[in-house]
Amino acid sequence: MKFNGTANGTPVWMWDCTGGSAQQWTFTDYLSIRNANGKCLDVPNGAAQVPLQMWDCLNNTNQQWFITAAP
């Protein structure tokens, strides 16, 4: 498993803030979350309780995110 880079399937990890481009993500009009390298935040195979990954932006349901109010 690769832990850095921009290839499809690269896992997304929580890390201390460094301000680097790898930590710059944008919530887009298409409800996707895109990073500075042009990849989207992706749930592998749409499964539950799995690590998130970077993947080419396909606008599939496993790449669609919504902001909701806290309970």
Ordered by start, the domain boundaries in the chain are 23-63
**Model-level pTM?**
0.78
Please state whether beta strands 39-42 and 53-56 pair in parallel, antiparallel, or not at all (unpaired).
antiparallel
pLDDT at 42: 94
Q: Tell me: the pLDDT tens digits for 3-58?
A: 567 899 999 888 899 888 778 888 887 688 888 888 999 999 888 888 999 999 99
Per-residue model confidence (pLDDT) at position 49: 87
- pLDDT higher than threshold 60 for residue 2: no
From CA 43, how far away is CA 53, in angstroms rounded?
6
pLDDT at 5: 78
Cα–Cα distance, 49 to 69 (Å, whole number): 22
Distance, CA of 37 to CA of 48 (rounded, Å):
25
